[in-house]
Amino acid sequence: MWQLGVLHDALDRLDALHEKWRETLDNLPADARPGTRAFDDALAEHHAECWSHLDDWATHGQAIVEINIAARHAPSPLAPRPSTTAALSTSLASTVRR
């Protein structure tokens, strides 16, 4: 699914932007707090840079849900089928009683 590639790239970019935001916070003047021009302008720029990557997640994030649903309904080669499990436990129980 190509959507997973889009989501992966968007997440990588959001991680990089988060690191950039942390650096920006470290470099703001000591008196820059929420509500001050310096802080609010830096935050607005950060949000503007993040917006398209968040939009990618809003647009393609449903692919994760669809994969999860498919995985829950797919037979697993690692686990026996429920009917096999019931037969096996009955067989084991009768063997243990002997």
pLDDT digits (tens, 9 = 90+) for 19-38: 999 999 999 999 999 999 99
- d(Cα 14, Cα 47) in Å, to the nearest integer? 10
Question: What is the helix (H) or strand (E) element at residue 7, kind and residue range?
Answer: helix 2-27
In tens, the pLDDT along 66-97 reads 988 998 888 877 766 666 555 555 655 555 54
